[in-house]
Structure 1
Amino acid sequence: MKQRDAKFSIGQVVRHKVFPFRGVVFDVDAEYANTEEWWNSIPAEVRPSRDQPFYHLLAENDETEYVAYVSEQNLIPDATGTPLRHSQVETFFDPETVGQYKPKAVVTH
C-alpha cells in the first residue's frame, strides 16, 4: 500500500464536495479505520477507496450538528470564513482564524 500524506490538517475547516455540510477536522486516519457495517452502508457506486486519508469532522448542515467520517476525495477547503456553530468546537479548539482553528493545549497532571 502506498503511503499518502493527509491533505487537510487538524483544525482546518472543510466542506463536502457533494453533500451540503462542512466541518472542522479533529482527527485523521491514514486510511479507512471504521467498521465494516459503516463501509457497507455506503452505496457501492459512490463508495470511496479505503487507501486514502479519512477525516473525523465536527460537522454541521443547515439543520443539525454531528460527527462525520469522510474520505479525502470527498472534501475541499471551506473558503467562506464563516465560523462553525457546532457546540463542541469550543471544547477542542481556540477561535478560528480564517478557515483554521487552533487545537487547545492539553493540560496533564
Structure 2
Amino acid sequence: MTLRFEPGDLVHHRLYGYRGVVVSHDPYCMAGETWYQSNKTQPVKEQPWYHVLVHDSGGLSTYVAQSNLEPDESGVPINHPRIGCYFAAFKDGRYILNDHHSGSCSI
C-alpha cells in the first residue's frame, strides 16, 4: 500500500477528531500483539502506520493506521512540546524536518 503521509504532514484522526503531525511511519503495524489487541479500533495491520504528535495533548504521541487518518487542511501549526525535536520550521501548512532528531525526544 502506498504511503499517504510523510513526516511533517498535518493529519486529522477520522474517528477521534484530534489533529497532529506525522513524525515517522512504518510499512505495517510494528507494535506487539498485546498492544494491538488493546487498541479500540484494531485496524488492519498490513497498511502504513504513523507516529503522530497530538495537538494540545500535553505531550502525547500516538501510533495510527493510515485508514484512520485524513489530511488536516487547516494550515494551523500543532501545539506540542516536542515539535522542535523533529522539525525546524512550519511553512506552507506543513513542518520541515530538522537535519537531526534529538535523542532526548524519542517517540
What is the TM-score when the length of structure 2 is the normalising length?
0.86
Say which of 77, 80, 103 aligns to 1:83: 77
Q: CA RMSD in A?
A: 1.6
Stretch moving more, 93-102 or 83-92: 93-102
Give 1:47's aligned residue: 42
Give 1:91 shift. Answer: 1.7
- Pairing of 1:2-81 with structure 2 (within 5 A): 4-43=1-40, 46-61=41-56, 64-81=58-75
Give the secondary structure class of the aligned counterpart of 1:101: strand
Larger radius of gyration: 1
Unaligned runs of 5+ in 1: none
What is the TM-score when the length of structure 1 is the normalising length?
0.84
Give 1:104's aligned residue: 98
Percent identity over the alignment is 30
Separation in 2, partners of 1:37, 1:99: 36
